[in-house]
Structure 1
Amino acid sequence: MSREDLPYRPCAGFMLVNAAGHVFVGQRIDPTAHGYWQMPQGGIDPGEDLRAAALRELHEEIGVGPDKVELIAGPSRPLRYDLPDELVGKVWKGKYRGQEQYWFLGRFLGENADIDLEAHDPPEFNAWRWVEPALLPELIIPFKRATYEEVLQEFRDFI
């Protein structure tokens, strides 16, 4: 099956910002993305509401429940990226060519102690930090940079 025959994996992402306007990023444990940082994101279950999926991923990956988040904005459109050739057929059991992502923005209402990287088994991240939004494209794995630039553009006025 060629790349063009493969669908995009539906995905929900969450840009979590703190009171200072910094964005949460976690350092990936996944060996294909080791050393890179990203915002919480993950697959959307069949029939799952986009907002519910984004909040579920936030809770699963970093232990932050909806009671610790003020939702600010949702997606105006899906954003897509393609996997590089060397990963097509290897990640997500070879079923997808990339992801179609729906991003949400929310303000973190909790304390740093509320963030729990062990909430997901196995954990997705081995470290986390708050960063200036402008640094996001530099931290993400290169094939996702354009998507992160679009997310920043989409939410710039709300951060």
Structure 2
Amino acid sequence: MTHNLFYRPNVAAIIVSSEYPETKQIFIAERTDLEGVWQFPQGGIDEGESSEEALFRELKEEIGTKKVEIIAEYPDWIAYDFPPHIAAKMAPYAGQKQRYYLVRLKPGAKIDLDTKHPEFKRYRFVGVDELFDHIAHFKKAVYEQVISHFRAKGYL
């Protein structure tokens, strides 16, 4: 990461099912614009918006519900660089700096990907170890860092 570049403030949600902690499976969704690329819901933090406000707004926009409870928050911002083909579309940003939240779906929450601007075409819950088989290469290091932190804290 080059520190004189711009990084877009962003929030990301690691969602566990309402059966957590008995079942520790994580929500991932396949992007509509990239075949076979799965990720956590995430999105930009708007001017004047807290990261928690952005979290709930982005969940509603991307998966049709904000009925979650926050279990934990990663303690630091984490940044990653976009690959060149994505950076060209995201100028002036070289990448994103993110706040990660571990959240649990509330009982009865309904996931609906048919939102106003669908970003995902399908979703599933996977085991923690299976997660890394599906994630875009440029996000793996960040995902591994965050998942390792939540595992070490006993959450996953």
TM category, shorter:
0.7 to 0.9
CA–CA distance in structure 1, aligned partners of residues 155 and 108 of structure 2: 21
More strand by share: 2
Deviation at 1:47, TM superposition (A): 1.6
Unaligned runs of 5+ in 2: none
Which residue in 1 is equivalent to 2:62? Answer: 61
SS in structure 1 opposite 2:74?
A: coil
Which residue in 2 is equivalent to 1:14? Answer: 13
Unaligned runs of 5+ in 1: none
Deviation at 1:87, TM superposition (A): 2.8
CA–CA distance in structure 2, aligned partners of residues 71 and 5 of structure 1: 33
SS in structure 2 opposite 1:134?
A: helix
TM-score (norm 2): 0.88
SS in structure 2 opposite 1:152?
A: helix
Match of 2:69, as an amino acid?
Answer: E
- Corresponding residue pairs, total: 149
The 5 Å alignment of 1:52-91 reads 52-65=53-66, 68-90=67-89
1:136 maps to which of 125, 131, 134:
131
Identity %: 40
CA–CA distance in structure 1, aligned partners of residues 86 and 3 of structure 2: 14
Deviation at 1:5, TM superposition (A): 4.8
TM-score (norm 1): 0.86
Give the RMSD, CA atoms, in angstroms.
1.7
Structure 1 residue 43 corresponds to structure 2 residue 62: no
The question of whether the paired residues in 2 share the 8 Å contact of 1:17 and 1:108 is answered with yes
Match of 1:25, as an amino acid?
Answer: I
SS in structure 1 opposite 2:61?
A: helix
More helix by share: 1
Query: Could you give the per-residue CA deviations for residues 34-73 of structure 1, whole angstroms, max 9, x where no partner exists?
Result: 21111110000012111111121111100122xx312100
CA–CA distance in structure 1, aligned partners of residues 35 and 105 of structure 2: 26
2:148 maps to which of 140, 148, 153:
153
Structure 1 residue 118 corresponds to structure 2 residue 121: no
CA–CA distance in structure 2, aligned partners of residues 86 and 38 of structure 1: 18
